[in-house]
Amino acid sequence: MLMNRPDPMIPSKPGAQDTEAMNNRVKWLEALYVHDGRDNPDHPFCHTYTGLFQQYASAPLSELCDND
C-alpha cells in the first residue's frame, strides 16, 4: 500500500487551529498575487486577492513556476 503525503494546504485540525496549513495558504495566495501582477499599481485588481484561486485553480503548475 502506497502512502501519500497529506496536502500541506488542507488543515488537519478544526477551524484555523492548523497554523502551518493556514500559513501555507497565505504563502500560496501571495505567490499568485505577485504572479498575476497585482503588486503593480496599474493592475485593475491591485490590492485585492479576489478571484485569484478561481483564476489559477486549473492552471498547470508549470505555468505558475519560474523556469529560470
Q: How confident is the model at residue 67 (pLDDT cuts 50, 70, 90)?
A: low
Distance, in Å, from the CA atom of 52 to the CA atom of 38, rounded to the nearest integer, reads: 10
Distance, in Å, from the CA atom of 46 to the CA atom of 40, rounded to the nearest integer, reads: 6
Distance, in Å, from the CA atom of 4 to the CA atom of 43, rounded to the nearest integer, reads: 39
Q: What is this structure's pTM?
A: 0.72
Q: How confident is the model at residue 25 (pLDDT cuts 50, 70, 90)?
A: confident
Asked if 22 and 11 count as a contact pair (C-beta separation under 8 A), the reply is yes
Place of cell 485553480: 57
